[in-house]
Structure 1
């Protein structure tokens, strides 16, 4: 999710190549002809469980210890940094703290259609005009899969927005992106039943070393993700990253395969959690801003567990 302008060029190039290949009739149909859709990553079909919640007693029995938790009774400034800036990926929103709310013990990220001026992105203070605002928070808590904590489980219970152009995300990264790796646990499309997972790594800042189509997976749920809460998770280990939806494994990336070959390179490197709701951007290819339909993102809780 923390991709640079270099990534935008890569996506367009990949989309152009994929357009020459045979279209997969079973690939998901994304909003407005997304460049990502053209690359046709695999799709996993899952049932999903409406209003699912984790059984922490079962996790404890499996050897997990909870090391971080926020139930969003307040938006704790000691736990989270709030963005006040534009972002990357040709996104259309300015992130501001005023788009972050606590409602009935849930974090609400509420996008607004409004004309505002702010920094282009965190690396570029040049003022830019935006037609939307939204919210993004990043945890002050850091974690890593390491010899001391060889298994890290990153979890959130969320209700996703429904609306053309909405790009909600729950993910982790660290350091000079993507040298500490990135785990995209959920990136939504503003649809009721579809999101994707992914991993990133680059040995130099701003330069991913792999073709993203190797590790991206679309997840299509039979349970509505915009009217029900679901639990999205990743288990990070030295040689594997396992993605889960409502307690069920949806894909396991292994370092011995092309899709997971870079996982060991960010073992023992620190990451932190990010929650945000972008609007438009490279996830959707070319999109008419006037046709964007805004939707709210809710987060019930976020947790990190570790195990030996």
Structure 2
């Protein structure tokens, strides 16, 4: 691995600032799994980082996933992207519209389920708010219980609203939360743009503050986004900020973005299912909310 510096968040876990090895789930390019050196400022104390107090912000949109068990997520908010073409990362799953892969549970949650089918293939779901809900700046958060197991790759992330007319990575990508099953105690937050994409994406990893596993419970994953910076937090503990000075190319985070929820199976970064992998695996989403913090 490349050079990493560490910091101790307030009441939080270990931060590992690095250029991540993720292409990002929206990328149209393959990845060589080589970690690179952190290209931003080498911060050794993040006590100055702050996240927004949601109670002091204006809620401008939310999906609380209220509805009957087995219902589809609200089509006024969410689109299903489908297919099994690898999604730029050599992934194995076929994304479907089936309620077996995405449905409300009747208890106020959206459940995205990755499965292995009788023919040995994998199915899952990928939901986006493109052309439905697009937003610039503010606080974007979701309360999620992530799945686990080798080769399972859940994410909550965003792409620039002009994608694919503006191709990746020029469109911009903000990974609010990525988690890979082989690292149950770690989550990742990253940005990708022109000149800092794929293995050169700029971000940080955050380790569970109690040495536990993120899949064991719900956690709130958020970014606080302004024209000058993006700050990541878990359970209101901020763990990294990226500014225009930290990226090696153009800052493309001055436009509206749409949100994405998905669970991938396989890929060059998380690796592939093996004899330890247990499926099905569920990503349970309590809510997604957008706040205006101006």
Shorter-chain TM-score: what band? 0.7 to 0.9
Aligned residue in 2 for 1:181: 172
Indicate how the Cα distance of structure 1 residues 6 and 59 shifts in structure 2: closer, same or farther if over 3 A, else same.
closer
Question: Is the 8 Å Cα contact of residues 231 and 241 (structure 2) preserved in structure 1?
Answer: yes
Deviation of 1:67 (Å): 1.3
Question: Is the 8 Å Cα contact of residues 165 and 293 (structure 1) preserved in structure 2?
Answer: no
**Residue 163 in structure 1 maps to residue 149 in structure 2:** yes
Aligned residue in 2 for 1:132: 122
SS of equivalent residue, structure 1 residue 256: helix
Where in structure 1 are there 5+ consecutive unaligned residues? 16-37, 47-55, 117-129, 146-151, 203-207
Match of 2:78 among 77, 80, 84: 80
Query: Which whole-Å CA distance do the structure 1 matches of 2:169 and 2:215 have between them?
Result: 30
Deviation of 1:261 (Å): 4.9
Match of 1:143 among 135, 138, 141: 135
If the length of structure 2 is used for normalisation, what is the TM-score? 0.74
Aligned residue in 1 for 2:232: 243
Match of 1:200 among 192, 195, 209: 192
Aligned residue in 1 for 2:214: 225
Indicate how the Cα distance of structure 1 residues 228 and 39 shifts in structure 2: closer, same or farther if over 3 A, else same.
same
Indicate how the Cα distance of structure 1 residues 81 and 3 shifts in structure 2: closer, same or farther if over 3 A, else same.
closer
Question: Is the 8 Å Cα contact of residues 115 and 132 (structure 1) preserved in structure 2?
Answer: no
Query: Which whole-Å CA distance do the structure 2 matches of 1:155 and 1:271 have between them?
Result: 14
Match of 2:241 among 228, 252, 261: 252
The equivalences for 1:1-308 within 5 A come to 1-4=24-27, 6-8=29-31, 11-12=32-33, 15=34, 38-39=35-36, 58-61=53-56, 64-74=57-67, 75-86=73-84, 87-88=86-87, 89-98=89-98, 99-103=101-105, 104-114=107-117, 131-139=121-129, 140-145=132-137, 152-174=138-160, 175-176=163-164, 177-190=168-181, 191-202=183-194, 208-210=195-197, 212-213=199-200, 215-221=202-208, 222=210, 223-257=212-246, 260-262=247-249, 264-267=251-254, 269-285=255-271, 287=272, 289=274, 291-294=276-279, 295-308=281-294
Deviation of 1:289 (Å): 4.9
Query: Which whole-Å CA distance do the structure 1 matches of 2:273 and 2:213 have between them?
Result: 26
SS of equivalent residue, structure 1 residue 189: coil
Indicate how the Cα distance of structure 1 residues 299 and 235 shifts in structure 2: closer, same or farther if over 3 A, else same.
same
Where in structure 2 are there 5+ consecutive unaligned residues? 1-23, 47-51, 68-72
Query: Which whole-Å CA distance do the structure 1 matches of 2:258 and 2:204 have between them?
Result: 22
- More helix, by proportion: 1
Query: Which whole-Å CA distance do the structure 2 matches of 1:304 and 1:263 have between them?
Result: 25
If the length of structure 1 is used for normalisation, what is the TM-score? 0.70
Deviation of 1:6 (Å): 2.8
Deviation of 1:210 (Å): 4.8
Map Cα deviations across residues 40-83 of structure 1 (whole Å, 9 max, x no partner).
769x9x9xxxxxxxxx9x5343xx21111001114101110012
Indicate how the Cα distance of structure 1 residues 114 and 210 shifts in structure 2: closer, same or farther if over 3 A, else same.
closer
Query: Which whole-Å CA distance do the structure 2 matches of 1:70 and 1:96 have between them?
Result: 21
